[in-house]
Amino acid sequence: MTRVSIGRILRHLMAPQWIATRAFPRAALERIEAAIKASEGAHRGEIRFVVEAALDLWPLLKGITPRERALEVFSQLRVWDTQENSGILVYVQLIDHDIEIVADRGISAKVPQAEWDAICCRMEETFRARRYEQGVLRGIEEITALLIRHFPSRGINPDELPDKPVVL
């Protein structure tokens, strides 16, 4: 059974929703969208970026971890729904100060989770300095390099998933 932290529950419930837009204003989200679009032109992967300020009470009472929430969002947004199983979710949970990268099975077969976790750690370092946009753009650059190596473009590269970031 997962241990429920009262402190975590209070942090989430007391967090105003606007903290996501403070960390990622519209202009930053537009630049992130442009970076995703440019990235996807160089490989066959599909990248989705999601930022969530706080969780609702029920998931908190269940003790859901940021990784479990990222897997839920991966499924809800159908990031797995690509021809080559090449979807990538970059999930940012602001209150828990956590970043998760979830790769679909086509990519997971070629890139170990440890490489995604290392990218998350470097993004989190940048986030600690409150440079959120820079951290995400740096993460997208690193993801792009991995995808170019393992899923290079073959000329025809349909855009299977939206590039627009999602704020939950």
What class is the 6-152+162-167 domain? alpha beta
By C-alpha distance, which of 80, 83, 84 is closest to 104? 80
Residue with tokens 């947004």: 77
In the chain, the amino acid numbered 91 is Y
* 85 class by beta-carbon count within 10 Å (0-12 exposed, 13-18 middle, 19+ buried): middle
| Partners of residue 100 on adjacent β-strands | 91
Mean pLDDT value of segment 8-32: 94
How do residues 89-102 score in pLDDT, each as one tens digit? 999 999 999 999 99
Cα separation, 133 vs 21, whole angstroms: 11
pLDDT over threshold 60, residue 2 = no
How do residues 97-138 score in pLDDT, each as one tens digit? 999 999 999 999 999 999 999 999 999 999 999 999 999 999
How do residues 31-73 score in pLDDT, each as one tens digit? 999 999 999 999 999 999 999 999 988 988 888 999 999 999 9
**pLDDT band of 17, cuts 50, 70, 90:** confident
